[in-house]
Structure 1
Amino acid sequence: MFLNSVSSMLQNIRAERNGISPLHLSSIRAMLPLFFVTNRNNYSRWTPVYHLDMLNLHAEVEARFNNEFFAMFQKAGSFNGVWSHMATEKSIIKYSKGNGGIVGLTRKKSALIRCNVTRHIVGHFSVAMKMRSGLVTADDNTHDESRPPSMKRDEQQVIDLISHLQETMVNPFDIQHHPSELVNISTGLKASKEVQESLLNAIDTCTAMIKKFFDSALSAGMSRSFYGPIQRSNIKTFSDMNKKTKLKCRSGETVQGNINPELIFCRALALTKCRDDVPVEKLLSFPIGPISTSLFHDDGTMRK
């Protein structure tokens, strides 16, 4: 399941880098169950619509997409295509919202409509004028993520990630030495029988959820609203194996939840940046371990 999920993600990246429209659609279709299993409702609701729209493109547009015009190539070469929004950030959006653009100039609806309709033309003229005047070069119009320093950084991050997986975690890519039980590759914790069955059957469960959503909200005889709530997957994960603590709300209601000290500490650190009554000194005065550190000496021996 993990390898299939990673493979779908890598195929989606490859489709964008090489401008392969059919591979993009197949990877999107493969990732759809993952949106349902992780309860990403916006992606679950709108990805099928996007996929259907892409399957019903105009013949001329579809032919152009299949001819590597699906992605933006700002330089000759291979595996250097970028997503369309990344390309427009450095061109159309930059010159329409930057210095001399529409932002701060007017809020009139008619002017905004004219700007949106013609901003790609204005951006083209703006780039041409700046290049003729020597203010910018051709490299300035490429996205930062496609430049050699960024690509070198990304490659180093991949090497570091592989090294981290091999040295400190259960390597998920070493298929021959996989444990018989389902384990957390980060901590090595073995899953309980209930969690293991839930995770191993997650794709089948969410495939049934997808079919139910399609039949009820996207079919000809819809029995429910497309904008209605989507059923949660309720998949059991490793976090469900943590000990639950009873908490009493202000309303008097008692609820059970998992208390993660590390998560609470991180959120408290965030509070120190936005609230004057929560200084860092006060936060660090509280122990975050299961046992108070004040019970022990600096060398670890217990106080009498």
Structure 2
Amino acid sequence: MNYILNYPLGELSASEAGESDVLKNLEATVHRKQEILKQSRTAKLWLQYSEMVQVLRQFIKAERTGNWPLHLQSIQEMLPFLAASGHNLYTKTAYVYLMTMQSLDEDHPDVYASFINGNHVIRRSNRYWAGISSDLFIEQVLMRSVKTAGGLTRGRGMTESQRSLWLMSMPACAEINQAMQDLSGVGYFSSEQHKDETHARQKKDTNDIQTLLTFLKSRNPFIDSEVDRSLRNIETGVVADKTVNVDDAKKVGTSILQELVGKNIADHTFRRKKQAITLGNKVQAKLDGEPLRIDSQLLFQRCTTAAHGIFEDISEIFQFELCGVPSSIFETTGLPREPQKSTLAEYMWNLIGLKPKAPTETHFVLDGGSLIHRLPWAKGATVDTICMTYVNYVNNHYTDATVVFDGYPSVPTTKDVTHFRRTKGIISPKVNFNNDTPIKTKKDEFLSNSENKQHFINTLGEKLKDGHVQVIHAEDDADLKIVLTAIEKSKQHTTTVIGEDTDLLILLCYHSKDAINKIYFKSEAKQNTHKIKIWDITETRRKIGPLVCNILPFIHAFSGCDTTSRIFGQGKGTVFKKISTNIKLQDHAAVFCQESNVESIHKAGEQIFVALYGGLLDVETLDMLRYRIFASKVCVGNIYVQVHTLPPTSDAAKLHCIRVYHQTQVWIGKGDKLDPKDWGWHVEDNKLLPIRALLPPAPEKLLRIIRCNCKLNCDTKRCSCRKHGIDCSPACGECRGMNCSNTSNITEADELDDR
């Protein structure tokens, strides 16, 4: 590097600098580092994304500067990614275009010479970065004048003579325009400075870069491959299975392009199964094993539209979800809808109307997980210093205390979804530490690694014991252990449970029926909170009633908890109110709190779903109710029906109900012998994930007609989409709903211009 820096000014050309051994060594070093990083599939994907961005920047540079060889190079480098992503028409046309242009020097040497001189782009000025692509120039000039006052689409007509007259008059109009500017002294001028170089634009770019860096700092995709070699979404933490190969998109696209060699491009058909498979394909509807890349709401609309005339009774199709996932209980990502647990506690607090005072003498039972997140960590502090901070805090605030910690086993658990949702895609490397090890990473990042967290909990537990604090370690989730510990302590004296989780309140109301002394539940004091809710569990049980308290675990699990889905449009307060005021629903809920078989669980759960959505108990099934609600919305509404506002199908509800049963049994202390895999869960990548549905998203014959495989323009009744009165969409095999005559995109664009 010193060789380059110390070289006399003006005596080293750019080409000579590029060929220097120093830069070659730097390039080789960077390449070696990239190959090491690529051992992690996530890093490999992001390096590939960086390459794609570089190709795009290279193409923009070629257009702005009029660099013809760079233009062709960029098109060639784009092709594998276009093919892998399924942009079939772009792939075909770009492939033919590239082949034609590469032989331009032999076929049309005069045109080639002009393009080499930078004339494949249009310029309004002689500035270096002012080139405009021909298609963009056509949009800005020709198409704009077509659609403005006096243009062809504004009343003149589109006959051959009218088009000829309009085009031939354009040079004369331009001369008149220039003459008017000269006469009036008014003209259009622009600065020599490009708009991308203005102070405002540079400031915005800097802020955007900082935002991106802040996000990536805690979700670094380029972590050591020894820590994590998986392919994951760095925002949600969702891990791809082995079928996902989007990190090899360039390789996949290259193999697709090789099939085009020597073939007639118009007759060639691309196969979806050979395209890159993304993480989103896992939650999409499939036909013949191939994913239909289509939005869930759009799929629902197309299914309900196309079903008329195919099914004698359209209500038959509502036993299927008609979208990629059961959207009333799952998000479009395939994850369960995130619960809003605190709303149940809020509803109960307003219902009972109690404001008890904290007891003066009590034994405290602390939720260890809440305690860990309660105190901040000083940056660079040692493990011993951090642990002593917790010990001093507990001894100063709770004179007689027992701390119960969660366990984080290496085997799959039903809380796996919650764990990686809470980490928000952050993956921290395992840290081998002892008491003297300084922790230099952020607390949340350090604890996002389950091995780090378990090791720290074990270390903290020993320090608390040395500080005369009782410590209990649960094997996995500690909620039940905390409650049972509090009930055991209440045999000798009044007990107060300290925690933030609504689960603790629900379990205390259920299990404390045999408590001898009073049990209280409250949150830890916070600086910005003046009033802390203190729950007298005995009085809470008396106000709510023993019958409802005995089914509270079911109500909480059914309406959404850490292991079960929230039901769209059915808040916890609504579920609590409807069940607590209906004896028949309470009988159905009791099925979940006793030993029951799958059939009785499904029957009871379906009736509760029917009641929540306003159906007729013991008369309507969920599938019947789905159709009735859909039909009523269509009749009275002037907008399309959102699929997630409908009840789940009987199939999806059954799986939800057996997961609710499993969680309810765990909470009441009878779930030890229940295998989650028998109750609506399956293992994937060493994680327990909920089974979304057993039935396909829609009948196969319906899926076949909502997409076409037209190789031409979709302008005849041979197009299955046009035949059934629906627009082509991204699910279609060839056209993808773009650049064909059976799409509303062009019409919508025209309407947008009219506004």
2:148 — aligned with what? Answer: 98
2:129–2:194 CA contact under 8 A, matched in 1: no
What are the Cα deviations for residues 192-234 of structure 1, in whole angstroms up to 9, with x where unaligned? 3442xx233332222121121333324xxxxxxx155322234
The 8 Å contact of residues 230 and 240 in structure 2, kept in 1 or not, is answered as yes
Specify the alignment match of 1:169 in structure 2.
Answer: 216
Q: Which residue, 157, 178, 187 being the options, matches 1:128?
A: 178
Partners of 1:209 and 1:27 in 2: CA distance: 18
Q: Which has the larger radius of gyration?
A: 2
Change (3 A) 1:32 1:98: same
TM-score (norm 1): 0.68
Once the 2 structures are TM-superposed, how far is the Cα of residue 240 of structure 1 from its aligned partner?
4.0
CA distance in 1, matches of 2:123, 2:75: 21
1:65 matched to 2:112: no
Residue aligning to 2:582:
none
Residues 1-304 of structure 1 mapped to structure 2, 5 A cutoff:
1-57=48-104, 58-102=108-152, 103-116=154-167, 118=168, 120-134=170-184, 137-139=187-189, 148=195, 155-169=202-216, 180-195=229-244, 198-218=245-265, 226-227=266-267, 229-232=269-272, 233-241=274-282, 250=314, 252=317, 257-258=324-325, 289-291=337-339, 295-297=344-346, 301=502
Deviation of residue 187 (structure 1)? 3.5
Q: Which AA in structure 2 matches 1:113?
A: S
Contact between 2:80 and 2:253, CA under 8 Å: does it hold in 1? yes
CA distance in 2, matches of 1:295, 1:240: 35
The 2-side partners of 1:296 and 1:175 are apart by 41
- List per-residue Cα deviations over 1:126-157 (Å, max 9, x = no partner): 431342243852338x9xxx973896665455
CA distance in 2, matches of 1:78, 1:171: 40
Measured in 1, the distance between the counterparts of 2:259 and 2:224 equals 38
Contact 1:96/1:119 (<8 A) preserved? no
Residues 150 and 186 of structure 1, relative CA distance in 2, 3 Å threshold:
farther
Q: CA deviation at 1:42?
A: 1.5
Using the size of structure 2 for normalisation, the TM-score is 0.31
Return closer, same or farther for 1:107/1:149 CA change in 2, 3 Å cut-off.
same
Does the aligned pair in 1 maintain the 2:325–2:332 contact within 8 Å? no
CA shift in 2, pair 1:206/1:94, >3 Å = closer
Q: Distance in 1 between matches of 2:255 and 2:323?
A: 29
Q: Deviations over 1:4-27 (max 9, x none)?
A: 211111111111111111111111
In structure 1, distance between residues paired with 2:125 and 2:55? 26
Q: Distance in 2 between matches of 1:236 and 1:18?
A: 36
Structure 1 stretch 66-75 or stretch 255-264: which is displaced more? 255-264
- Quick one: distance in 2 between partners of 1:113 and 1:53? 29
1:112 CA drift (Å): 1.1
The whole-number CA distance in structure 2 between the counterparts of 1:119 and 1:63 is 30
CA distance in 1, matches of 2:73, 2:275: 26
Q: Which residue of 2 aligns with 1:278?
A: none
> 1:276 maps to what in 2?
none
Structure 1: 5+ residue stretches without partners: 219-225, 265-287
**Are the equivalent residues in 2 in contact too, given 1:20–1:68 (CA < 8 A)?**
yes
Partners of 1:16 and 1:59 in 2: CA distance: 21
SS of the residue aligned with 1:31? helix
Q: Aligned partners of 2:180 and 2:147: how far apart in 1?
A: 17
Cα gap change, 1:183 to 1:97, in 2 (>3 Å): same
Q: Is the 8 A contact 1:171 1:185 kept in 2?
A: no
Q: CA deviation at 1:50?
A: 1.7
Structure 2 unaligned blocks of 5 or more: 1-47, 287-299, 305-313, 350-500, 507-572, 577-755
Kindly tell me: are residues 77 and 171 of structure 1, through their superposed partners in 2, closer, same or farther at Cα, counting changes over 3 Å?
Answer: farther
The 2-side partners of 1:93 and 1:256 are apart by: 39
Rounded to whole Å, the distance in 1 between the matches of 2:220 and 2:189 is: 38
Letter in 2 for 1:63: A
C-alpha distance in 1, partners of 2:284/2:268? 34
Paired AA for residue 208 in structure 2 = L
Contact map agreement 2:63 2:132 (CA 8 A) in 1:
yes
1:15–1:24 contact (8 Å) kept in structure 2: yes
Q: In the TM superposition, what is the alpha-carbon distance from 1:166 to its structure 2 partner?
A: 0.8
Partners of 1:99 and 1:256 lie apart in 2 by 44
* Residue deviations 1:97-144 (CA, integer Å, cap 9, x gap): 43334442233322213423x25524532431342243852338x9xx
Partner of 1:223: none
Per-residue displacement from partner, 1:244-301 (whole Å, max 9, x unpaired)? 89x998554857824566669xxxxxxxxxxxxxxxxxxxxxxx94447764527985
8 Å CA contact retained: 2:246, 2:277: yes
Quick check: 2:85–2:275 contact (8 Å CA) kept in 1? no
Question: Contact (CA 8 Å) 1:95, 1:126: kept in 2 or not?
Answer: no
**Cα separation, 1, equivalents of 2:97 and 2:87:** 15
- Report the structure, 1 or 2, having the larger helix content: 1
Question: Does the Cα contact within 8 Å between 2:80 and 2:252 map onto a contact in 1?
Answer: no
- Take 2:71 and 2:201, find their aligned partners in 1: how far apart are those partners? 22
User: Matched residues in 2 for 1:54 and 1:120: separation?
Assistant: 30
Aligned equivalents of 2:326, 2:239: Cα separation in 1 = 20
> CA RMSD of the aligned region, Å?
4.1
Decide whether aligned partners of structure 1 residues 88 and 36 sit closer, same or farther in structure 2, where only a CA change above 3 A counts. Answer: closer
Taking a change above 3 Å as real, the CA distance of residues 97 and 194 of structure 1, as seen in their structure-2 partners, is closer
Q: Measured at CA, do residues 234 and 87 of structure 1 come closer, stay the same or move farther in structure 2, by a change above 3 Å?
A: closer
Identity of aligned residues (%): 20
Distance 2:182 2:133 in 1: 27
Question: How far has the Cα of 1:189 moved from its partner?
Answer: 4.0
